[in-house]
Amino acid sequence: MSESPAPGILRTPDACFENLPGYAFAPHYLDIDGLRFHYLDEGPADAPPVLLIHGEPSWCYLYRKMIPGIVAAGFRAIAPDLMGFGRSDKPAERSAHTYARHVAQMTELVVRLDLQNATLFCQDWGGLIGLRVLANEPDRFARAIAANTALPDGPLDDGLVLVDEAGNINEAMVGTLPGAFKQWLIASQTMPVFNSGLVVQSGTVSDLPDDIVAAYNAPFPDESYTAGPRAMPTLVASQLASNARAWNDVYAHWTKPFLTAFSDSDPILGRNYKVFQERIPGAQGQPHVTIEQAGHFLQEDQGERLAEEVVAFARAGG
């Protein structure tokens, strides 16, 4: 395991993660793609794994309310931090943060951990990335749960960008986006200081205490660490053709159980559950659920309830 990051790679000091409320999990690390990746790994090593993938701009802290219930039910909970987030290494250059690279890195993590008979739970960018990981390694997954997420596809070529490396917004393309996402994309590029905690707060229906807001900011001690969350909203349209292949090659034929667990108060992705229910054979006849009194970050608003749904679905087999 690398003791120090390579030039151009930032690593958040461990002291930033001390005494975070509700977070007493041991860190685990893998070297992948020249970077140190952090993940939580709770529960028996031989228990059926539940892979919990976060989105943007959160980190595995988002799953602190879900992990205890999943482990208590006899499962193994694995929650990685994406490149540029949490305790994982953070390339300082925005150009290093690409959709394809995120997918490749998380796929390698799943392979390196040799996950089998796994349940995927994914939210926000955790779905855009995690569902591609599942499509890369479908035999490792027994079922999947999508929550407030999407897998956008289309006939466009890979490589389309919404914002260039200089931060210039492609106004013609951005103008076609749904209102809530368009507002977030512009805000993510123009806010003087990227405050992840306040972003998470704005995506919940709960009034988060100051120490929780601060915990979401812990991975980013100053602006130089924020290339990952700054870049990610601009990447949504960069893999549409690759996503289309995942839909056509995997999800159009996916008959293993697929559940949607979207919240009732997400202005960005709250109705996207219909896409999964209509397009994936394995979603037919499943006990799809709406998580009430929850915003975009439903793990924060209703984590314990959400864990119960994950456990019930995983226990149902199939």
Catalytic annotation, residues: 124, 266, 296
| Cα 228 from Cα 232, distance rounded (Å) | 6
| Cα 117 from Cα 115, distance rounded (Å) | 7
Which helix (H) or strand (E) is 197 found in, with range? helix 196-202
Residues of 230-253 as b/e, b for ≥16 C-beta within 10 angstroms? Answer: bbbbbbbbbbbeebbebbeebbee
Give DSSP secondary structure letters for 92-120. SSGGG--HHHHHHHHHHHHHHTT--SEEE
Helix intervals (H) in 209-257? 210-217, 227-231, 240-249
What angle is formed at CA 73 by the lines to CA 69 and CA 78, rounded to 5 degrees? 65
Structure tokens given for 107: 């796929």
| Cα 244 from Cα 78, distance rounded (Å) | 27
| Cα 172 from Cα 291, distance rounded (Å) | 35
Residue carrying structure tokens 């209102």: 179
Phi/psi at 146 (5° precision): -105, 130
Whether the link from the prior residue into 257 is cis, omega within 30° of 0, is: no
Neighbours of 1 (CB within 10 A): 6
